[in-house]
Homo-oligomer: A and B are copies of this chain.
């Protein structure tokens, strides 16, 4: 860590949850315990200012929170328990100490939810835009990590939350600016874009129940993530249009717009997956008992790997270009 950023060591969290022995904080590497009965999960994501986030749609606090949320969502998609994270950040002179403090506070607040410890990182200067790279580490019981390649004909497809609210919120921010004004309904959409909640509890149900489940998180849109499952599983996924869960506050939108957001809007950080038809009732019951949402949106059938939308008895191919499509609109 370079001296000019020495203050960052002061704004990083005081709490260490001591779930397990962690040492080496202050050294360049952190040491933590492994265990025979657990597998380790690791993921990394980079957010570039001007490409993945803009300061006119997210506050510094929200940029930090979201930078960690993206990675926690990747852990959720494996069914893992979040444990640690590392933050590597390239900082330009256009960011003030106060803004950086808020950015770290955003990460810290989300980390508290999951009792994740910040165990290391790298802080460097850059002459250009801010680049935030978060590495997240989790653990999952041996053999219980969920992957994308388990879908089989006859399975059902599910979502663990509403699709498209984040993209709708982003469009509202583009349209009205960071400060709005937004109606109470619009605030829900804006908040879902700015401070998404990763679905860790949902992922944990899906790993601990130990069914044959494919799982993915919706970072690039339902269409894109469903296609990833289809490719990994070599199966055909059929999404039924009238089953897609659209949030109440989007009911006033034209139907085509609702569908566009639901299929191609990214960054919802809900989970999408498949499971055998005979297991649906048991999984639904567990979700219901924990007050969590599970919505069946379609089924898996034989055929060329890919995704189709079923609407008025017509099957139309849904390409993987959710995110690109979204970018063009943005």
Contacts and interface: CB of A to CB of B under 8 A. Distances in A.
Interface stretch (A23-31, A156-164, A176-184, A248-256): A23-31
Interface in A115-164: 119-122, 124-129, 131, 133, 135-140, 142, 145, 147-148
B44 A135 contact: yes
A119 B50 CA distance: 28
Interface size of A as a range? 35 or more
B29 A90 contact: no
Copies of the protein in its oligomer: 2
Contacts of A129: 126-128
A24 B145 contact: yes
Given A23-B147, A48-B124, A88 B29 contact: no
Contact of A127 (B39, B51, B120, B147): B51
A43 B29 contact: yes
Interface string A230-266: 0010000000000000000000000000000000000
A74 interface: yes
Contact of A125 (B21, B27, B40, B51): B51
A214 to B, nearest CB: 10
A124 B34 contact: no
Contacts of A47: 124
B40 A34 contact: yes
A195 interface: no
Contacts of A29: 41-43, 74-75, 77-78, 80, 136, 138
Q: Which has the most chain B C-beta neighbours within 10 Å: A52, A90, A127?
A: A90
A32 interface: yes
Given A24-B41, A29-B138, A42-B120, 6 more contacts: A29-B136, A32-B40, A40-B40, A51-B124, A128-B128, A128-B129
